[in-house]
Amino acid sequence: MLFPQTLQPLAVNRPVSLESVNRALTADRLILLVLQGDDSDEPTAENLKRVGTVGVIRQMAKAPTGGVNIIVEGLARVRADVFTRSGNTLRAQITPLPDKGEKTIEVEAHVRRIQELIEKALSITTGMSEELRDVRDGSHLQRLLFTHGEIEALLERDHELDHGERIASEVLDET
């Protein structure tokens, strides 16, 4: 899954996806990425999630399999109001979903606490992204943490705690 303000490499092989990438590359390089509800090779409007991310294709390389490998930068969260398909072309009418991240004292305290824990984790472990060190925006920090598999799994375990408290407690437990 691609979040705003993150980069994601993608392997693209399906005809409808290749067509979408090719159309984006010949125009403004913008592409909508949404999750698919099943594993079918032919996505339909009914099995595509409505909320996704508009991204810009930053790099593209042809793959030996006939597909392409791309790097996409997430720009904005959107809702797909209507999907239309014609042949291998899948299009969507979208509505922006602006970030409602509040800058409350509580949110800022969670961000500071998580930053402290990240600093501690970076000092005693290897493999964590140095990118996490300089992030001060709570929404961006949450997106970056969600893109790291271990933390995403931790966030899914306990639904009664606030995300910030969960992240802080789990990072603290790991250190």
Nearest residue to 165 (alpha-carbon basis) of 106, 79, 97, 89: 106
So what's the pLDDT on residue 165? 56
Give whole-number Cα distances, 128 to 85, 123, 155, in Å: 41, 10, 17
74-106 pLDDT per residue, tens? 998 899 999 998 888 889 999 998 876 667 787
For the chain, the structural domain boundaries read 7-96, 105-174
Count how many residues are written for the chain: 175
Burial of 113 (0-12, 13-18, 19+ CB in 10 A): middle
Confidence of residue 146 (pLDDT cuts 50, 70, 90): low
> What pLDDT digit, counting tens, does each position of 105-118 carry?
877 787 777 777 77
Residue in 18, 143, 3, 142 with CA at minimum distance from that of residue 69: 18
CB neighbour list of residue 174: distance below 8 Å, 6 or more residues apart: 121
**CATH code 3.40.50.620 for 7-96:** no
The DSSP code for 150 is: H
| pLDDT at position 151 | 37
Within a 13 Å sphere around the CA of 170, how many CA atoms are in the beta-carbon half? 17
Whole-model pTM: value is 0.64
